[in-house]
Amino acid sequence: MSTRAQIRFATREEGVTFSEHPEKFHAQFYKHSDGYPEGLGVDIAESLLDSEKLTNWEIEYLDTKHSDLDYIYYIWQTPGKTTWISIFKYVVLDTEFDFNSEYEWDCIFVGEPQKLLDKYKQNTNTNG
């Protein structure tokens, strides 16, 4: 099963909090697999910090909606300000999922790219 995600680029604006979905964003991409924070989140942070290339993203129309997403990422940018990232996870509120289940988007991360790496990048040195 794939871990699907949308990546949206939003402008940092006064009065718009990073922990809520913004009403406006100016670019949107889709990633069909590996959309979890330890995969896609780390890739985004490394790209911002080290110019690592990103692969396997599909550009989408701004009004494209998916019914099977697991995550939505917002990359908040404005010239002269630091870049921030928000991650929202799809959460089913009912104990037994069916197509009538209640759900919501839970904000699981807000911060700068290095903070995302500190939280989600797995330690790969020999000491674990």
pLDDT tens figures, 19-76: 999 989 999 999 999 999 999 999 999 999 999 899 999 999 999 988 889 999 999 9
Asked if the structure places residue 125 within a domain, the reply is no
Q: Decide if 4 contacts 69 (C-beta within 8 A).
A: yes
Is 103's pLDDT higher than 90? Answer: no
Retrieve residue 22's tokens: 């913004």
Asked if the structure places residue 71 within a domain, the reply is yes
Q: Which domain holds residue 111?
A: 5-120
pTM of the model: 0.87
Full strand arrangement of the beta sheet holding 84-92: 58-60, 27-31, 5-11, 71-77, 84-92, 103-111
Q: CA 77, CA 49: separation in Å to the nearest integer?
A: 14
- Maximum Cα–Cα distance for the chain, whole Å? 47
Asked if the structure places residue 128 within a domain, the reply is no
pLDDT at residue 38 in the model = 96
Is 100's pLDDT higher than 60? Answer: no
- Among 109, 64, 72, residue whose Cα is nearest residue 90: 72
Retrieve residue 99's tokens: 């197509």
Is 2's pLDDT higher than 90? Answer: no
As for how many domains the chain has, the answer is: 1
Q: What is the mean pLDDT of residues 7-20?
A: 91
Q: Decide if 100 contacts 81 (C-beta within 8 A).
A: no
Q: CA 107, CA 100: separation in Å to the nearest integer?
A: 22
pLDDT at residue 19 in the model = 92
Is 1's pLDDT higher than 90? Answer: no
Asked if the structure places residue 127 within a domain, the reply is no
Asked if the structure places residue 126 within a domain, the reply is no
